[in-house]
Chain A
């Protein structure tokens, strides 16, 4: 059975103007832009996990902030449950926030240092006038226990600095989940947490997903983590989605040369495994003046003339599997 589409992103684009000094502006006169996200489109269905994978600077975090409406898109559409939320403001935006939440990468910075854990977790309830007094407190206790901060009574009165990174991230999860959202964007939620504790956070997120039929957009640079948690995977390179498909498809039959390179570059904890080689030149270019045509072509060993002139669009190669490459 096809699940309902929860989130649809259409040709989403975000350009940031490059900050320049007064003198530079005077001399060049031209405003330059960082093309952080360039016309990306994808769909996420209810109850599924969409893994957005890419290297630093590929625009995955910007995409997450766009979806949650923390920054304004330059162009494009964000459709949440059939409703266009791209430019909603005021009360409608606040209402939207009840349904769409975000978990940030850095749990050391995402909590107000002057707010006790209980207060921080309760705040979304206050803001949206959902519960007060004893009922609010009870909900907070339940939530804290659910994310494994037990005894909740003890954690309720602590300040963030008294907690470890893993515990802080759980507070961030509790805060995001207490409103019972439908869609949660998780931006590298485990990358700043100690290795031995990461799996616990992932498990917690999966448990909450099962329990509440949540939809996740899981942003990560780590394909191994994406493979563990996602149902769908979108690979981003320099502000664009180059390949998108079901998890099994991406891992068993990757098409895009960049996806292939990423897959063989992932370290595997098994020294006996046959070492692969990747044919990839140079490093990721700047997104201020990205390469023409296919943005990957200067590094691609299969590049043809066409690749430097014409931008490839996402084409279906299999059912549910799309790739943006002139080779296919």
Chain B
């Protein structure tokens, strides 16, 4: 099967007074049609920047410095704003943590939907309206509430509206950035289930960006774990959770309380993430790594291919060394 999205050696820097912040620094991953990639990382790891750069929405002083973004086989990294605008919303769309910020408070939600549909599809208003009510029904909002204004909806309902808007044009790829973070667990669970259902019915690829690794495990087919602007491990989800390879993956999984386990011993990763203006020369995780060796300090580790679809950026798995 052809890849829906392939990112190759993408670099996105923010040019600040203190220097260039290497928010995304040499990132590569891929996904197939209909798959979900869980893009996981802590705050400041570059996961949101990566999400925005796929839509080329990184705003100044941020800039895509180099790399390829192959979407359906076309490298969109070099596309101009006009071409991107046609792509955004229709082929790739995005949902945010707070959908209120992207909704006009003076427009009924039905109007929002109709407008979104009609900017990309030249269809009569009545038809668009019919489509809008189908969409509302699909995301679990009674269509008769289409005449209500955004502020009349609760947090979970607004998130459903955000989803309806994002999928209105049947995109191939949906990017969701921390989009359930402001919701309570039960509503989050319901929204997540809705998302799974829609993904299957629309054959849609999903990039699910979150800091919450437990949440990501509920939906992702592949995991891309980011640390300090780089993907340190990219693996099929079940392998990632059962057999994490990168020391950071291992550390992170051991630091998350798991409700299924009794008498769990939690661990933590000492230290703090590096400054992305002046990252360490070698491996960026070296200062916090329990297995660090001299070479890690001097050289940047390569992205080692463990299996066909499993990559780790760590010297421990580099050819000559055996797995310990």
State the CA gap A171–B190 with chains docked (Å): 38
With an 8 A cutoff between CB atoms, is B252 at the interface? Answer: yes
Interface-lining segment among A85-93, A98-106, A191-199: A191-199
With an 8 A cutoff between CB atoms, is B137 at the interface? Answer: no
A-contact bits for B8-50, CB 8 A (1 contact / 0 none): 0000000000000000000000000000000000110000000
- CB neighbours (8 Å) of A195 from chain B are 42, 211-213, 252, 255-256
State the CA gap A164–B275 with chains docked (Å): 12
With an 8 A cutoff between CB atoms, is A79 at the interface? Answer: no
With an 8 A cutoff between CB atoms, is B272 at the interface? Answer: yes
State the CA gap A277–B190 with chains docked (Å): 9
Checking A197, A265, A270, A272 against B258 with a beta-carbon cut-off of 8 angstroms, the contacting residue is: A270
Q: How far is the CB of A53 from chain B (nearest CB, A)?
A: 10
Among residues 256 to 311 in chain A, which have CB atoms less than 8 Å away from a CB atom of chain B?
261-273, 275, 277-278, 280, 283-284
- CB neighbours (8 Å) of A166 from chain B are 272
> Contact at B185–A265, with CB atoms within 8 Å?
yes
- CB neighbours (8 Å) of B79 from chain A are none
> Contact at A271–B237, with CB atoms within 8 Å?
yes
> Contact at A269–B238, with CB atoms within 8 Å?
no
Checking B237, B260, B267, B272 against A164 with a beta-carbon cut-off of 8 angstroms, the contacting residue is: B272
> Contact at B266–A199, with CB atoms within 8 Å?
yes
Write the chain A residue with the least CB distance to B239: A271
With an 8 A cutoff between CB atoms, is A55 at the interface? Answer: yes
> Contact at A196–B259, with CB atoms within 8 Å?
no
Q: How far is the CB of A168 from chain B (nearest CB, A)?
A: 12
Write the chain B residue with the least CB distance to A201: B268
With an 8 A cutoff between CB atoms, is A136 at the interface? Answer: no
Q: How many residues of A contact B (CB 8 A)?
A: 41
> Contact at B258–A268, with CB atoms within 8 Å?
yes
Interface-lining segment among B69-77, B81-89, B128-136, B215-223: B215-223
State the CA gap A261–B185 with chains docked (Å): 9
With an 8 A cutoff between CB atoms, is B156 at the interface? Answer: yes
Given the interface pairs A195-B255, A227-B257, the reply to whether A283 lies near B155 with Cβ below 8 Å is: yes
With an 8 A cutoff between CB atoms, is A251 at the interface? Answer: yes
Write the chain A residue with the least CB distance to B263: A228
State the CA gap A263–B262 with chains docked (Å): 14
With an 8 A cutoff between CB atoms, is B3 at the interface? Answer: no
Write the chain B residue with the least CB distance to A228: B257
- CB neighbours (8 Å) of A199 from chain B are 254-255, 257, 266-268
> Contact at B259–A223, with CB atoms within 8 Å?
yes
Given the interface pairs A221-B185, A224-B258, A268-B259, the reply to whether A196 lies near B266 with Cβ below 8 Å is: no
State the CA gap A315–B26 with chains docked (Å): 59
Q: How far is the CB of A205 from chain B (nearest CB, A)?
A: 12
With an 8 A cutoff between CB atoms, is B184 at the interface? Answer: yes
A-B contact count (CB 8 A): 119
Interface size class of B (residues with CB under 8 A): 35 or more
- CB neighbours (8 Å) of A222 from chain B are 185, 257
State the CA gap A267–B35 with chains docked (Å): 20
Centre residue among B42, B188, B217, B259 by max chain A CB count within 10 A: B259
> Contact at A272–B268, with CB atoms within 8 Å?
no
> Contact at A265–B188, with CB atoms within 8 Å?
yes
Write the chain A residue with the least CB distance to B254: A199
- CB neighbours (8 Å) of A270 from chain B are 217, 241, 258, 260
Given the interface pairs A221-B184, A262-B186, A270-B241, the reply to whether A196 lies near B260 with Cβ below 8 Å is: no
- CB neighbours (8 Å) of B186 from chain A are 55, 261-262, 265, 278, 280
Centre residue among B42, B189, B211, B241 by max chain A CB count within 10 A: B189
- CB neighbours (8 Å) of B193 from chain A are 277
State the CA gap A71–B178 with chains docked (Å): 34
> Contact at B185–A262, with CB atoms within 8 Å?
yes
B-contact bits for A224-252, CB 8 A (1 contact / 0 none): 11011000000000000000000010010
Q: How far is the CB of A11 from chain B (nearest CB, A)?
A: 26
Q: How far is the CB of A254 from chain B (nearest CB, A)?
A: 12
With an 8 A cutoff between CB atoms, is B143 at the interface? Answer: no
With an 8 A cutoff between CB atoms, is B187 at the interface? Answer: yes
> Contact at A267–B154, with CB atoms within 8 Å?
no
Given the interface pairs A199-B266, A268-B217, the reply to whether A283 lies near B154 with Cβ below 8 Å is: yes
Write the chain A residue with the least CB distance to B237: A271
Among residues 187 to 239 in chain B, which have CB atoms less than 8 Å away from a CB atom of chain A?
187-190, 193, 211-215, 217-218, 220, 237-238
Task: List 6 additional A-B contacts (Cβ < 8 Å) besides A227-B259, A271-B217.
Answer: A55-B185, A194-B273, A196-B42, A196-B269, A269-B256, A270-B260
24 contacts between A and B (CB under 8 A): A55-B186, A164-B272, A194-B211, A195-B255, A195-B256, A196-B42, A196-B252, A196-B255, A197-B272, A198-B255, A221-B184, A221-B185, A223-B259, A224-B256, A224-B257, A265-B186, A265-B188, A266-B214, A267-B218, A269-B241, A271-B218, A271-B238, A273-B260, A283-B157
